[in-house]
Amino acid sequence: DDSYVNVNVFDLNGKIASTLNSGRLEKGNHNFKWDGMSNSGNMVSNGVYIIQIKTNGYESMKRIIFEGE
């Protein structure tokens, strides 16, 4: 089975900084790596961001600290 899965990175103002996945994924474990680039193609500022994983009947949010080079 597969499900529609959204994986977004939000800034602390609630604005989507980056979308890591927006589409169907097969059941199982998946890894996502964020390079600090925004959806507009710019490097985001260092700081705290929220990763949101949302799918059918499930939602999880985690705080992360981004420290670019």
pLDDT of 36-63, one tens digit each?
999 999 999 999 999 999 998 899 999 9
CA angle 54, 44, 69 (to 5 degrees): 120
**3 Cβ neighbours under 8 A, 6+ residues apart:** 24, 25, 27, 55, 56
The sign of the dihedral angle between the CA atoms of 63, 54, 34, 28 is positive
Give yes or no for residue 69 having a pLDDT over 90: no
pTM, two decimal places: 0.90
